[in-house]
Amino acid sequence: MYRFLLTPRWWGINVFAVLAIPLCIFMGSWQLSRFEDRVQTHQQQEDRSARAKAAAARPLESLLPVDTVTSGRQASARGRYDTAHQLLVPARTLKDKHGERQGFYVLDLLRTDGGKALPVVRGWLPGDAGAKADTAKVPAPPKGEVTVTGALQASENQGTDGVQAGGGLPRGQLGMISAASLVNIVPYGVYDAWITQTDPQAPLHAVPPAAVEGSGLDLKAFQNLGYTGEWFVFAGFVVFMWFRLFRRDTEAARDAALGIVPEGDGGGDHDGGDGGGDGAGVSVVASVSGAAPEADDQGDGPADGRGGGSGAGRGAEHGEDQGEDQGEAARAGQA
């Protein structure tokens, strides 16, 4: 009954199922592990951020380059602010007890003793970076040599929230905080990192450090979770289709063994019609030949009009012959 499993068609189905099911399970497990890693990294990042706030600041050079471990750590740098190149970073949102508010960052460049400049976000102000009434509230940076302390951050990129990488901003504004964006604005080197000042001047508000990219429960994390479900659904679908095809072919083989032919596999429509007509004709002939002597008793027997008429005609002829024979016998007796 199961010999159909040895056909080339079923060889192909079985090979596909054997390869597809483990692949789907492997890919689903891998996507699930990616999601679990992001959850774990997010928890670790939160723990590090909490410890970094309470930890003592370390020199900037000892924390570079910025990675998942050093991001958010308190860093300190000493130098002088370049007051000629103060920049505003527009369309930045700050979350606080009042909710989400739109405003802009105030960014100044701290020229260190090493010659490079460190971008320092001195704080955030509500309003529009293009409105003079709002920008007039920006306090001037401290003069002379200062020591700046803040949370270390990696350079922004086009995928960072709030970044305006398209350009077209007015002079004095910056869309993305990165060395690549600043290299064409200032005539000196810039660190590939920046810090957000912990205790800004009034009326500036402190900008909280952002989580390391790829370490939080962002959209990518939930995409991994969605892909996990998709791969497991694919595996289940392959199993379902294999059993469905197997059941269909098993039933077909069982019916063939019992001599049951599926509808449409027998004689054609035209042949079936002719066969039915021939069978009816044979039945009528047999009925007529057997019922001719008793034609009077078979008035209601044949269903075919032609068969009934033929039998009745033969009965009438037979009666006339008997009548002629009886008449001749009577005339002979009288003679």
pLDDT at 285: 34
309 or 230: which leads in pLDDT: 230
Q: Which domain holds residue 309?
A: 269-334
Same domain assignment for residues 145 and 178: yes
Residue 108 lies in a domain: yes
pLDDT at 167: 73
Taking 90 as the threshold, does the pLDDT of residue 265 lie above it?
no
Residue 258 lies in a domain: no
Residue 61 lies in a domain: no
Burial class (CB in 10 A: 0-12, 13-18, 19+), 267: exposed
pLDDT at 172: 92
Selection from 178, 155, 176 nearest residue 165 by Cα: 176
Taking 90 as the threshold, does the pLDDT of residue 292 lie above it?
no
Same domain assignment for residues 185 and 287: no
Contact of 195 with 153, CB cutoff 8 Å: yes
Taking 60 as the threshold, does the pLDDT of residue 217 lie above it?
yes
Same domain assignment for residues 78 and 203: yes
Contact of 85 with 99, CB cutoff 8 Å: no
Same domain assignment for residues 152 and 127: yes
pTM of the model: 0.58
Helical (H) or strand (E) element with 261: none
Q: Which residues of 7-29 are buried (b: 16+ CB within 10 A; e: fewer)?
A: eeebeebeeebeebbeebeebbe
Selection from 275, 295, 274, 150 nearest residue 208 by Cα: 150
Beta bridge partners of 77: 148
pLDDT at 325: 53
Cα–Cα distance measured from residue 104 to residue 308, given in angstroms and rounded to the nearest whole number: 107
Overall domain count for the chain: 3
Same domain assignment for residues 44 and 125: no
Provide the pLDDT confidence category of residue 71 given band limits of 50, 70 and 90. confident
Same domain assignment for residues 195 and 113: yes
Cα–Cα distance measured from residue 162 to residue 172, given in angstroms and rounded to the nearest whole number: 17
In this predicted structure, which of 53-67, 104-118, 164-178, 291-305 has the lowest mean pLDDT?
A: 291-305
Cα–Cα distance measured from residue 295 to residue 317, given in angstroms and rounded to the nearest whole number: 11
For residues 84-98, give the mean pLDDT.
89
Same domain assignment for residues 142 and 203: yes
Pairing mode, strands 193-197 and 117-126: parallel
pLDDT at 274: 44
pLDDT at 324: 52
Taking 50 as the threshold, does the pLDDT of residue 291 lie above it?
no
Same domain assignment for residues 127 and 193: yes
Taking 60 as the threshold, does the pLDDT of residue 306 lie above it?
no
Residue 170 lies in a domain: yes
Residue 55 lies in a domain: no
Taking 80 as the threshold, does the pLDDT of residue 20 lie above it?
yes
pLDDT at 233: 97
Rounded to the nearest 10 degrees, how much is the dihedral formed by the CA atoms of 254, 258, 264, 265? 100
Cα–Cα distance measured from residue 17 to residue 11, given in angstroms and rounded to the nearest whole number: 10
Provide the pLDDT confidence category of residue 52 given band limits of 50, 70 and 90. low
Same domain assignment for residues 32 and 121: no
* pLDDT tens-digit readout, 126-147: 999 999 999 999 999 999 999 9
Q: At a CB cut-off of 8 Å and minimum separation 6, what does 128 contact?
A: 90, 104, 134
Same domain assignment for residues 172 and 244: no
Cα–Cα distance measured from residue 205 to residue 106, given in angstroms and rounded to the nearest whole number: 10
In this predicted structure, which of 32-36, 249-253, 291-295 has the lowest mean pLDDT?
A: 291-295
Rounded to the nearest integer, the mean pLDDT of the chain is: 79
Same domain assignment for residues 93 and 200: yes
Taking 60 as the threshold, does the pLDDT of residue 315 lie above it?
no
- 3-state SS, residue 68: coil
274 or 233: which leads in pLDDT: 233
In this predicted structure, which of 93-97, 215-219, 330-334 has the lowest mean pLDDT?
A: 330-334
Residue 236 lies in a domain: yes
Same domain assignment for residues 194 and 94: yes
295 or 235: which leads in pLDDT: 235
279 or 38: which leads in pLDDT: 38
Residue 92 lies in a domain: yes
For residues 35-41, give the mean pLDDT.
85
Encoded tokens for 241? 């289709």
Strands (E), the chain: 58-59, 74-81, 87-96, 99-112, 117-126, 145-154, 193-197
Taking 70 as the threshold, does the pLDDT of residue 272 lie above it?
no
Burial class (CB in 10 A: 0-12, 13-18, 19+), 87: buried
For residues 260-277, give the mean pLDDT.
52
For residues 9-13, give the mean pLDDT.
93
Residue 196 lies in a domain: yes
Q: Which domain-ending residue is among 156, 174, 208?
A: 208
Taking 90 as the threshold, does the pLDDT of residue 298 lie above it?
no
Selection from 270, 251, 269, 249 nearest residue 260 by Cα: 251
pLDDT at 215: 59
